[in-house]
Each structure stands twice: as structure tokens, then as C-alpha cells.
Homo-oligomer: A and B are copies of this chain.
Amino acid sequence: MFDKFREECGVFGVFGHREASRIAYLGLYALQHRGQESAGIVSSDGSGLHSETGMGHVADIFDQSRLEHLKGESAIGHTRYSTAGESASKNAQPLVVSCSQGDLGLCHNGNLINALQVRHQLEKAGSIFQSTTDSEVILHLIARSRQETIEDAIQEALSQLTGAYSLIFLTREKVIAVRDPRGFRPLNLGWLDGSPVLASETCAFDLIEARFDREVAPGEMLTLFKGGTRSRQISPPQSPSFCVFEHVYFSRPDSHIFGRSVYESRHLLGRTLAQEQPVEADIVVPVPDSGVAAAIGFSHESRIQFEFGLIRNHYVGRTFIEPKQSIRHFGVKIKLNPVAELIQGQRVVLVDDSIVRGTTSRKIVKMVRDAGALEVHVRISCPPTISPCFYGVDTPTKRELIASSHSVEEIRKYIKADSLGYLSHEGMLRSCGVEQGQGHFCSACYTGDYPVPFPQMSAVETA
């Protein structure tokens, strides 16, 4: 309903814990914001894999009996945003297959650049595909490997693939985590009661009270097995390309990502934005929930009073029955409502984290103005979004991105703001810790400068 980029997956894994599937369930609960269309868990009891997947929220998919079915001491899980339509349920992850390497489960966060080419080659060589996800390609390459160990087979398979992938595999005896050589998407290692756990974000560790240890390194393969953990580097060192949008928007503010607090980054994004794009105004209002931390930073820096002037209805379900006669800016109204008393007669700074097509921003500006604002100044805590992502984020095409073909002034006019200011590219990177050496980010969506080249735009869905 909202005009946002959408994260496409959260992944989780646990090895050697007697409540493995419950731990995975809790982990997915904390990663729900990374994908709300489907979720699944596959567990291993040493002699076979058990799988449960479903459409919808983690809380609705799993009940006592489904969790009890997920026997065993290791488990991996996945939350997913999937495109609408028929393919939804067959694309739900974890994928589970049996092949030359035995039973194998897979969770994937990211997107393979050359999946379509490899898929065509595999089909020519006789492989059959049951989903439309790029992730299935990985399993086929593993199945065709002549390597003797599963780790070698995974390494061989991944050597043929480029792009973004944070992967967690499950076999009968092991959990194996791999991150692509540039580390586009996050993946973290923690410990719970002596058992290793893996998660896209550290907020999942917090819920289960696991201790954060470290990131799985870019290009690292980390095997969790009875003997402990075993690490190997499966590709030569490359310059990292951490997704900067994880800090700007995707990740939960209470998470650590790429070795840095997300809240801290957002706070600084807001501060820097206030320095770069100052404005005379009476109150700073965030577009909740994602704009809150940046708005607080903006307020601290600018000394303009912070107010929670837009209230969000958190009970909004996945489908919504609209009235036949249209209500103005309905799509926004069902989620947001202004606090008129706050806004009435004020000059308002609206802090948000992105403008995608511009339609939602236009409605919000109108809504705030209708509530009595004298002026509405929009501040965006990152640069204009001009290029689609090919590394695991669901974005519209370049043509649909308003900033790809319009100047800031043109966008301002379209959304009918009194002023519009974006954060600079340099300011964004600095706020996310580049100077402290904490980030070597991919910011292709702001620059069109893609760190991993792609043969042609991928038509398969991302995971």
C-alpha cells in the first residue's frame, strides 16, 4: 500500500539446540519486517528433514502442532516478500529437495545476477524447475557437482553464480551459512546456550537472548556441525558492497548491521540532513515508523521541536476493502492520520526515508496541509533514488522512479511541498560510518553504479 522499496527476505538458522524449531520460530518473529507474504521452517532430526511453510505472518502460519512436527536439533527459517499471484506458495522458502548430496534445505536472501542464464543452461542440460525463484538454481548446481563433500559442492556451485546472497543450508547433519564475496546482504553469527545461531539481523538474537558474536564475513562459508564450527573463505577478497539501504530503511533500528547500530546511522542521517538542508520551521514530524530516528536526529541538530504528528494504525491487514466512492488519498489514510492540533498553524518539516514514485509523498503532504500546516517542508534522509536494485530488493523499474527523470525542483512541485531537500550521497555514506571504515557500501540505487555487472536485467524473481 505504501510506496516503499521492499526487503525481500529474512533468514535464520540454529544448530544443536533441543528447541531448534521454536528458536527458529522466535527468530523469524523478530525478522517479520523483512518479509510478510510467506514464511517457513525446515528442521533436521539427523535422519531426515521436516518442513512447514505457509502464506502470511509467522504468527498465523505456525501453531503448536506444526512446531511439534518440526523435530530435531537443527533448523533454518525464512520470511519472504513474494510477488502476488499463483506462484506465491510454490516459491515459499526454505526450499527442500533430495539430490546426490542427500536431503537439502535452503534459505536465500539476495538476488543472483546471472540466474536466468544459468537456468537456461541447466534446463538445456536436463534440469526441471518447480519454482520461479533464482534460489532453485543454486540447488541444481549443487546437485550436479561431482564434489564429494557438501561444502565443496556448494563452493563449486557458487563459483558459477554472481550477485547477492546470504544463504543458510540445512543437511541432515549440518547447517552451512555462506555470504557472497561483496556481502551485499547482512548475515550474523551468535550463540545461544552454547549453540550457534545465524540471523539476518541481530534483533533476532536479542529476542532469543543469544549473544552476538560476529558477522559471517563476505565470501565466507561457515559450517555448523557436531564438532563445532568450521570456516573457509570460498572466494578471494573483494571490496565489500554492503547495502546502504539496510541502514537507511530496511533493518530494524534496534539491530546491528554491517558492524554498526542502525539507530545510530539513522540518527546521524537526520543530523546531517539538518546540516545540509536546513529550514526555518516550528516542528519536525516523522513519517512513521521508519522515519522516526532520522526525524529525532534532525530535531536535535536543528533545535526544531520534535512532534509525533502523524499517527499510524498498526492494525492494517493485508487486504482492505475500499469504499466504492473514493476517499481522498485513501491508500495513505488507512495507515496514517495527522494530529491536527499539533500541525494547525505550524511550519512543518516532514522527515521521510525515501520518495519512490512520489504518489504517496504527494498524498501525505496534502494530508498535512489539510490539517492546517502553514508550510510543509519535506526532508529525505538519503539521496534521490534513481536506479533499480538487482541485489535482492524489490524496486520499481527505472522509469517508475520519479527521481530518475525529474529534478528535485520538479519532484517538489509534484508532491506540492514548500521545499524539498535530499541528503547528499557523501552525507549518507558518512552518516553510515564510512569514515570510521565501517562501510564500503553499495549505493547503486542512488548512483546507478553497480558493483557487480549483470548480463541483462533478470526476469526471474528475487528471493
Q: Which of A134-189 contact B (CB under 8 A)?
A: 139-140, 143-145
Evaluate whether A321 and B99 lie within 8 angstroms (CB atoms) in the complex, with A140-B126, A261-B341, A338-B254 already known: no
Evaluate whether A32 and B313 lie within 8 angstroms (CB atoms) in the complex, with A100-B124, A306-B296, A342-B263 already known: yes
Residues of B within 8 A of A191 (CB): none
Q: What per-residue 1/0 map shows which CB atoms of A94-136 lie under 8 Å from chain B? A: 0111111000100000000000000000011111111000000
A99 and B127 contacting across the interface, CB-CB below 8 Å: yes
Q: Which of A305-324 contact B (CB under 8 A)?
A: 305-308, 311, 313-321, 323-324
B19 and A323 contacting across the interface, CB-CB below 8 Å: yes
B130 and A207 contacting across the interface, CB-CB below 8 Å: no
Evaluate whether A252 and B311 lie within 8 angstroms (CB atoms) in the complex, with A59-B320, A325-B19 already known: yes
Q: Which of A52-103 contact B (CB under 8 A)?
A: 57-60, 62-64, 67, 69, 86, 95-100
Most chain B CB within 10 A, of A296, A305, A308, is at A308
Residues of B within 8 A of A313 (CB): 29-30, 32
Complex CA–CA separation, A4 to B432 (angstroms): 38
Residues of B within 8 A of A342 (CB): 263-264
Q: Which residues of A contact B (CB under 8 A)?
A: 19, 22-23, 25-26, 29-30, 32-33, 36, 50-51, 57-60, 62-64, 67, 69, 86, 95-100, 104, 123-130, 139-140, 143-145, 203, 206-209, 252-254, 261, 263-264, 289, 292-293, 296, 299-300, 305-308, 311, 313-321, 323-325, 327-328, 333-334, 337-342
The answer, among B60, B126, B254, for a CB contact under 8 Å with A127, is B126
B333 and A206 contacting across the interface, CB-CB below 8 Å: yes
A139 and B128 contacting across the interface, CB-CB below 8 Å: yes
Residues of B within 8 A of A296 (CB): 306-308
Most chain B CB within 10 A, of A36, A144, A323, A342, is at A323
- Closest B residue by C-beta to A338: B254
A67 and B98 contacting across the interface, CB-CB below 8 Å: no
> What are 6 contact pairs spanning A and B, CB under 8 A?
A19-B323, A30-B313, A63-B319, A97-B128, A97-B130, A293-B308
Copies of this chain present in the complex amount to: 4
- Closest B residue by C-beta to A320: B59
Other than the given A57-B317, A98-B128, A208-B327, 6 more pairs (CB < 8 A) read A29-B316, A32-B315, A125-B126, A126-B143, A128-B139, A296-B308
A253 and B311 contacting across the interface, CB-CB below 8 Å: yes
A99 and B123 contacting across the interface, CB-CB below 8 Å: yes
Residues of B within 8 A of A341 (CB): 261, 263-264
Evaluate whether A19 and B308 lie within 8 angstroms (CB atoms) in the complex, with A128-B140, A130-B130 already known: no
Most chain B CB within 10 A, of A19, A51, A318, A321, is at A321
Which 8 pairs between the two chains have the least Cβ-Cβ distance?
A59-B317, A126-B144, A261-B341, A32-B315, A254-B311, A97-B128, A99-B128, A263-B339
- Closest B residue by C-beta to A58: B315
Complex CA–CA separation, A318 to B63 (angstroms): 12
Residues of B within 8 A of A300 (CB): 305
Residues of B within 8 A of A299 (CB): 306
Residues of B within 8 A of A263 (CB): 308, 339, 341-342
Complex CA–CA separation, A317 to B22 (angstroms): 16
Residues of B within 8 A of A254 (CB): 311, 337-340
Residues of B within 8 A of A289 (CB): 314
Complex CA–CA separation, A67 to B145 (angstroms): 41
B86 and A100 contacting across the interface, CB-CB below 8 Å: no
Complex CA–CA separation, A319 to B313 (angstroms): 20
Complex CA–CA separation, A96 to B86 (angstroms): 12
Residues of B within 8 A of A63 (CB): 319, 321
